[in-house]
Amino acid sequence: MNKETIFEELFRAIVEVDEEKAREAANELVKEKIDPLEGIEKGLSKGMDVIGERFEKFEIYLPELIMAGDVFNSAMEVLEPEIMARGKSVAKKGTIVLGTAKGDIHEIGKDIVAMLLKTAGFEVYNLGKDVSTATFLQEAEKAKADIIGVSALLTTTLLGQKDLIDLLKETGKRDRYMVMVGGGPASQDWADKIGADGYGVTAKEAVSVALKLISKK
């Protein structure tokens, strides 16, 4: 199977909510030695965008959304070892505490960000989903983190990113931690507006942003 066909199969596996197809296409991708990140971007994530659009138009409902997430994860089970194996970094770059904002349970994208940061040499503390601003700060202190990363997929939970920056200011710790934000409704404009140090559209970008931030330290 060629590259484009595999991407198409990954895309269709999500849109058709077909776990078996997802695993098969992911295995094929690994066999053909294609960059798994390209498969995520050009296949799986594109499928998720279509699922999101259909959900918005009431063409599908919550159970399908949940199942699409499961299909994505089953492809990731195949791709993750390959991504980790391709990571070639040895030297430790820095420490990052990462989580999804309070009230938000989306974590597929955030987990990919965590995985890529690890392969790039960061020590990553993945706090999971629905994380309060107080917990972000508490865990960053415990881990002696350099960077705090906040993911938000809902317009309503985007404010959690601003709340963290406000909390850091209030507690006199704004200069202690760099803050990186991401997720669907976030943007560079938003990051600038709330005074975040970095923003990334994709997990790959999250890594370059984190590397840039750490080099400035």
Please state the closest distance from residue 62 (CB atom) to ligand B12, in A. 5
Give the interface segment with ligand B12, choosing from 2-10, 25-33, 119-127, 178-186 (CB under 6 A).
Answer: 178-186
Per rule CB under 6 A, is residue 85 in the interface with ligand B12?
no
**How far is the C-alpha of 116 from the C-alpha of 112, rounded, in Å?**
6
Interface mask (CB under 6 A) for ligand B12, residues 96-115, using x and -? -------xxxxxxxx-xx--
Q: Which is nearer to ligand B12, 6 or 196 (CB)?
A: 196
What is the token pair recorded at 209?
């942003």
Spatial strand order of the sheet with 122-131 comes to 122-131, 94-101, 147-151, 178-182, 198-200
Task: Pick the binder of ligand B12 from 36, 43, 99, 200 (CB under 6 A).
Answer: 200
Q: Which residue number, 36 or 149, has a Cβ lying nearer to ligand B12?
A: 149
Any contact of residue 183 with ligand B12 (CB under 6 A)?
yes
| Separation CA 174–CA 171 (nearest Å) | 8
Could you tell me the two tokens for 29? 């991708």
Question: How far, in Å, CA of 19 to CA of 173, rounded?
Answer: 45
**How far is 67 from 61, CA to CA, in rounded Å?**
10
One of 153, 165, 168, 178 touching ligand B12 (CB under 6 A): 153
Give the tokens for residue 92: 């430790």
State the Cα–Cα distance between residues 167 and 182, nearest whole angstrom. 18
Q: Total residues contacting ligand B12 (rule CB under 6 A)?
A: 39
Give the residues lining the site for ligand B12 (CB under 6 A): 45, 48-49, 51-53, 55-56, 62, 65-66, 68-69, 103-110, 112-113, 149, 151, 153-155, 180-185, 200, 202-203, 206, 209
